[in-house]
Amino acid sequence: MAEIKWITSLDDGLKQANSKKRLALVDFFNPN
């Protein structure tokens, strides 16, 4: 099954968003 390759650092995600000219999708999930 295909899985989304989630980034776990917001800073890293925003850097990729900037370099790829995309928007970030941030999933705030329940860790418990």
Tokens 């370099």, residue located: 19
> Which residue's entry shows tokens 């999933």?
27
Query: CA separation (Å) from 2 to 5, 18?
Result: 9, 25
**Residues 9 to 28: which contact other proteins by CB under 8 A?**
9-10, 12-18, 20, 22-28
At closest approach, how far in Å is the CB of 19 from other proteins? 9
Q: In the bound complex, what is the minimum distance in angstroms from residue 23's beta carbon to other proteins?
A: 5
d(CA 28, CA 32): 12
Size of the site for other proteins (CB under 8 A): 28
Residues that bind other proteins (CB under 8 A): 1-10, 12-18, 20, 22-31
